[in-house]
Amino acid sequence: MFRFTSPPMPHYITSGEDTYPAEGRHPNRSGIGVFDLLAVTRGCLYLEEDGLPLSVPAGHFAILRPDRSHRTALPCKEETHFYWLHFQTLGTWSEVTEREPYMLPSGTEPYMQIESFVFHIPRRGELHTRENFYERLQQLLELRSEVTAAARFRQQALIQELLLQLQEESNTAAKDPQLALADEAAAFLRRRYREQLRYKELSEHLHFHANYIALCMKKAFGCTPQDYLTRYRIEQAKQLLIHTGEPIGKIAEETGFQTFPYFVRCFSKHTGARPKEFRSRYR
């Protein structure tokens, strides 16, 4: 599957549809620089990507990498119709074998937004609600003839809807219950970051022992629940230091730190600067 970190979101470039007769072949390409999404409505495409077989039967999809070569492995055995869509991202992406939760930023950049998130798109699979998928692809084709800003905006919205559908249908979260539990724990901590962490309350909310929750978070994020919470609080404090004029002591209190000296110590450790220095630098 592909793992995308956003924002920025993957963006639409162009799309189309083709019908190959029996014995038809997909063009051979190498390093085209964009993701190539193929959705077959009838027939079957028999492809290879860097020598690995990749068949896409009717009702299925596949996404080809932008940095690899692909070619026809076998000609079509029957008339084959498919949609194709090219997209790319300015954000980071990677190919992973299992779902990986997003790790909070730990750098000193002030605009490492905590609102960033990751999502996972399967490389191939069956389209369970294929008519909705085909309808959106058809809408993209119809918008190509329009040159308005509204049409371009709608194209970008449609690509997000398509990718969201692929993510939801893949149900990747269920494949690793430990990572899913870590995600739930992280969400709980983010909601309650102004309060003091009570492992008993966390355990009761998630219905797992605190030690097991800590083990799952260590696997997912490489840190304990307390460390995760501290990093999240620091990110919230960064935004308040930059965007408000509130006293630093009040910011420490609002972001869940029990004492001002402890806040200064944690902030300096994670950012390499004291809160006052950080504010002066980025305001």
- Helix (H/G/I), strand (E/B), else coil: 85: strand
pLDDT per position as a tens digit, 3-28: 898 888 999 999 999 999 999 999 89
Helix (H) or strand (E) holding 261, with range, is helix 260-271
**Which whole number is the average pLDDT over 258-272?**
92
**Which whole number is the average pLDDT over 251-262?**
94
* Domains observed in the chain: 2-170 (2.60.120.280), 177-282 (1.10.10.60)
pLDDT per position as a tens digit, 143-201: 998 889 999 999 999 999 999 999 888 764 445 788 788 888 998 999 999 999 899 99
Q: Which amino acid is at 257?
A: F
Question: With pLDDT > 90 as the criterion, what percentage of the chain qualifies?
Answer: 65
Q: How far is it, in rounded angstroms, from Cα 60 to Cα 106?
A: 39
Helix (H) or strand (E) holding 42, with range, is strand 35-42
**Residue carrying the six token digits 């609102």:** 115
Phi, psi dihedral angles at 206 (to 5 degrees): -95, -10
Query: pLDDT tier at 110 (50, 70, 90 boundaries)?
Result: low
Count helices and strands in the chain by DSSP H and E runs: 9, 12
Q: How far is it, in rounded angstroms, from Cα 127 to Cα 36?
A: 16
Question: With pLDDT > 70 as the criterion, what percentage of the chain qualifies?
Answer: 91
Q: How many CA within 13 A on the CB side of residue 63? A: 23
Quote the distance between the C-alpha of residue 31 and its chain's center: 23
Helix (H) or strand (E) holding 227, with range, is helix 225-243
Residue 71 above 70 pLDDT?
yes
Q: How far is it, in rounded angstroms, from Cα 25 to Cα 126?
A: 22
Query: How many residues belong to the chain?
Result: 283
Which of 133, 188, 135 shows the shortest CA–CA distance to 162? 133
Give the mean pLDDT of the chain: 89
- Helix (H/G/I), strand (E/B), else coil: 257: coil
Q: What is the pLDDT of residue 157?
A: 96
**Which whole number is the average pLDDT over 120-128?**
90
Q: How far is it, in rounded angstroms, from Cα 139 to Cα 155?
A: 8
